[in-house]
Every structure is written in C-alpha cells, then in structure tokens.
Amino acid sequence: MVAIDLDSVRKAFDDAVALEDVSLSVEEGEFFTLVGPSGCGKTTTLRTIAGLSSPTDGTVRFDGEDVSDTPVEDRNVGVVFQSYALFPHMTVAENVRYGLRFTDPPRGLTADERVEELLELVDLPEMGDRDPDELSGGQQQRVALARALAPEPDVLLLDEPMSALDARLREQLRREIKRIQRELGVTTVYVTHDQEEALAVSDRLAVMHDGGVEQVGTPVEVYEQPATEFVASFVGENNVFSGVVVGRDGDELAIEIDEKAPADHQFHVVDPADHAVGDHVTFCVRPTHLDPDASHNRFRMALGAAEYLGGTTRLYGEWAGREMVLRLPEPPADDTLTVGFDPAAATIL
Ligand code: ATP
C-alpha cells in the first residue's frame, strides 16, 4: 500500500494542454475516483500516476518518493483499461500469468498457485483453461483485473473498466471490484465519467473539469456541499440561482435574483460564510428540495417534460429564464407549479 501525491502537475501535448496545475493526494488503501466529462484530463492523470505518461511540469510521489521519471515497469502498479485487452490466443490462466512477467509470484507461491488464487479472488475458479472469447464481457474484465493484481501491486489503476458493459453488469462488477479492493487493501485510483458510479464506489473523489481539479471530497461532501457551479451541476442534478445580496438577518441572506425574475423577488438562504450586502452570490437547490408544500421561498414555474423514473417523476420547468428540475411522486395536472424551499436547503457556491 502506498500513498500517492501529485504536486502541480501540468501536461502539455503539441496542440493541447491536458492538465494544468493538478494537485491531489490519495491516501494508503483508499478507493479514489477521478470523475468528470469527456476530455477533462482523467485518463492523462491516471497515465501520469501509472508512469505511462510523464508530466511536463510538477511531481508525482509514491510514499513521498519522487517517481515522476520512473517508468511503469518499476512502479509496481496494476492497470486495467477500458477494453478488455486480453490476449485472444492465450487461455484465461495464461492471460493472468502474463501479469507476472516482470516479477516472481508473491509469498513463495508458484505461478500456477498464484493464478489459481487470483481466479478464486475474482470469482472465476475453474475457468483457467477457457479462451477469452468463451467468457462474457464482465468475466473478461475480471480476468483483466486478476492479471493486473497478479504481482500484488502497490497501486491499482482502473480506467473506465466497465464502460463496455451493460448497466446491470456494471453495477454487479463495481460491487465486485469494491469487495476485492477492500479485501486486498490496495490503493486504488478509478476513472469514470459516470458521477453516480463515482458516488457509489469511492472513499473520496476528485471532480475534474478542463484539465483541473474542481473539488476533492467524500461522496457526501461533494454531493451535499459542491464547491463550484460546475460540481453542483455535474454531480447529481441541481437548480442554480445567482443574484445580489440585499439584506442580512442573522445567518440568513436576502438575495435579489437578476432582472429576469419578477421585480422585488427575493430568496432567503442560510449563509455559513459572511457575505455582505452588495455581494454577488450563486447558490443551488437540489431537485428533491423544491417542494410544493414548503412555506419559504415560493415561486411559480412553467412545467415542461416529465419523466417517470419508477416511484418518482423528474419534472423539468422554467423560471426566470432558468431551467429548473424537480422530483415529485407524480406529475401535477397543471402546466404551472408553485414550489418553495427551506432557506437551509440551499447551498451557497
Ligand atoms: P475521456 O473520458 O473522453 O477519455 P479524459 O477525461 O480521460 O476523457 P484525457 O484523455 O485525459 O481526458 O484528455 C484530456 C485532453 O488532452 C483532451 O483534450 C485530449 O484531446 C488531450 N489529449 C490526450 N492525450 C493526447 C495526446 N496523446 N495527444 C494530444 N492530445 C491529447
């Protein structure tokens, strides 16, 4: 188990800057996720940790030791990529054994014993003699995981390992990966563009955007207290408002929304910081906190599309030129709806 530190990492290609000033610390044994939209720099960050890509500037440290120029084969990392990348002409067992090409099997085991142990771990015992094309996609990815784990790596790096699988299989495999990670205690960095998956599996996650890190935190911290407008909208859905502080009463701000809102319309929002009258603030309210029965901060929106999600309905609406989203058990009959929210349910960004 090692801790990983990235310190002000920058990566420039000929025609693009993939990473700008990325600093991150992954603790020993942690399941850490890099999440963000396509092109934000997740894979480049992972490749930099692996030693498959060297930073243009900045440092990568494993347990405090600078490994920025250490090649991948000397870093003791296991990597699993998007595509299964198994060798089709080798059996499952031979594919797993390939993971031992740079090192002897650990703990004095023979290679055969180690392969058997790994196939047990990923729940594919008795499958060693099969060819990869005789396995399902999810099983193939578990073989790739076994291969990456073969040398008992200090760090496990997973780059969208489930993107080729269907939704149900993804959920199953992610629980499996999490179980294996817990069992081994290996420091793990996981890349996904799927924010729901990131919340579900991670001890902590870093939300990336445009080559930089927007926020690092536990799933609850990132969801409940998004640090930026990007995080607020990317991780789960959100309703984002901005305006000017026109009054303060105790810990509550009165905020006047811009000119598209009805004249003199004010929202009252709890402010844990110390914004003053005249400040511009942006805040967000989760869809589940927009409530037709709330007594505070009421406003009437025009309703648009409704999506039945099983047990709940997602409703889109519009208020003051902004798209709104909320959740209700069932769609209202009208094409307008008045909702409100508790001042403490809003988060100032
Ligand atoms: P995705 O989810 O689509 O895989 P990502 O978040 O992993 O995206 P990266 O693959 O790290 O993003 O790419 C970040 C940026 O760097 C992108 O603009 C990409 O086009 C650019 N980039 C990545 N690799 C190279 C390369 N070898 N040469 C030039 N540009 C690159």
pLDDT tens digits, one per residue of 101-128: 888 999 999 999 999 999 999 989 989 9
**Could you give the dihedral angle defined by the CA atoms of residues 268, 277, 320 and 240, in that order, rounded to the nearest 10 degrees?**
-70
- Give the amino acid at 275: H
How far does residue 158's CA lie from ligand 1's centre (Å)? 16
pLDDT at 186 over 80: yes
Residue of 9, 10, 13, 47 with the most ligand 1 atoms within 8 Å of its CB, for mutation: 13
Q: Which atom of ligand 1 is nearest to the CA of 44?
A: 11
pLDDT at res. 265: 85
pLDDT at 331: 87
- pLDDT at site 183: 92
Residues 314 and 307: beta-carbon distance below 8 Å: yes
- Indicate the DSSP class of residue 104: P
Q: What is the pLDDT of residues 10-67, one digit of tens each?
A: 999 998 999 999 999 999 999 999 999 999 999 999 999 999 999 999 999 999 999 9
Q: Which residue has a Cα nearest atom 22 of ligand 1? A: 18
Q: How confident is the model at residue 84 (pLDDT cuts 50, 70, 90)?
A: low
CATH of 4-228, one of 2.40.50.100, 3.40.50.720, 3.40.50.300, 3.20.20.70: 3.40.50.300
pLDDT tens-digit readout, 301-311: 999 999 999 99
The residues, any chain, with a CB within 8 Å of residue 88's CB and separated by 6 or more, are: 131, 132, 133
Nearest residue (by CA) to ligand 1, atom 20, is 39
ipTM, 2 dp: 0.96
Give the span between the Cα atoms of 204 and 216, in whole angstroms: 7
Out of 2.40.50.140, 1.10.10.10, 2.30.42.10, 3.40.50.1370, select the CATH number for domain 237-348: 2.40.50.140
Mean pLDDT, residues 189-206 taken together = 96
Q: Is 86 left (phi over 0), alpha (psi -120 to 50) or beta?
A: beta
| Among protein residues, the one whose CA lies closest to atom 24 of ligand 1 | 44
For residue 41, the ligand 1 atom closest to its alpha carbon is 11
Q: 299: closest CA among 291, 311, 309, 310? A: 291
**Domain coordinates of the chain in residue numbers?**
4-228, 237-348
Q: Which atom of ligand 1 approaches the CA of 40 most closely?
A: 6
- Residue with the bigger pLDDT between 103 and 325: it is 325
19 CA → ligand 1 middle, Å: 9
Task: Tell how far the Cα of 34 is from the centroid of ligand 1, in angstroms.
Answer: 14
Please state the atom number of ligand 1 nearest to the C-alpha of residue 47: 11
Report residues whose beta carbon is within 6 angstroms of any ligand 1 atom: 13, 16, 18, 36, 38-44, 193
Q: In this predicted model, what pLDDT tens digit does every residue of 137-172 receive, in sequence order?
A: 889 999 999 999 999 999 999 999 888 788 888 888
Across the chain, mean pLDDT equals 94
Q: Are 160 and 192 in contact (CB under 8 A)?
A: yes
Identify the pLDDT of residue 166: 85
Spatial neighbors of 281 by CB under 8 A, at least 6 apart, are: 242, 243, 244, 245, 253, 255, 269, 271, 275, 348, 349
Q: Which of 6, 11, 15, 43 has the most ligand 1 atoms within 8 A of CB, as the residue to mutate?
A: 43
Which are the contacts of 195, defined by CB distance < 8 A and separation ≥ 6? 35, 234, 235, 236
- Range ranked top by mean pLDDT from 87-96, 100-109, 131-140: 87-96
**What is the arithmetic mean of pLDDT over 262-273?**
88
Is pLDDT above 80 for 129? yes
Mean pLDDT of 77-87: 85
User: What percent of the chain is modeled with pLDDT above 90?
Assistant: 85
For the chain, percent of residues with pLDDT exceeding 70: 100
What local confidence, expressed as pLDDT, does residue 36 receive? Answer: 97
Cα(44) to centroid(ligand 1), Å: 6
Residue 211 has pLDDT above 90, yes or no: yes
Residue 14 Cα: closest atom of ligand 1:
29
